[in-house]
Amino acid sequence: MLGQAAKPSGSGCKLIGYQYSEIIRAVFSVFCCGGDCMEDLNLYLKDVLAERPHTRIPSADTVLVALRNWQRRTYHTRQKRRATSMISTRLRN
């Protein structure tokens, strides 16, 4: 999943200013380090993760907004596919 999000073309979240790979890396870091919620990113991990050169660390709020946008976009894409499939099925019959 991280590999898919790290694709260079069109993988940026334009409203937020972070790549989806950066968002997923933040989520992965929180939960792999034993965090219970995204706020642990701000409280405990941001300073440690910032030590890695050339790494941008989004805030917990930014991560949650990006994931919500990603979820909406995925939902709308599925709905479009479903509608297109239904229309093409009706046209065939």
* 16-65 pLDDT tens trace: 788 888 888 888 888 888 888 888 888 888 888 888 888 888 888 888 88
Residue 88 has pLDDT above 80, yes or no: no
pLDDT on residue 3: 47
CA-CA distance, 56 to 58, in Å (whole number)? 6
Q: What is the 8-class DSSP label of residue 53?
A: T
pLDDT(13) > 70 = no
Report CA-CA distances (Å) from 7 to 1, 10, 30, 64, 72. Answer: 11, 7, 22, 21, 20
Q: What share of the chain is helix, strand, coil (3-state, %, to 5)?
A: 65, 5, 30
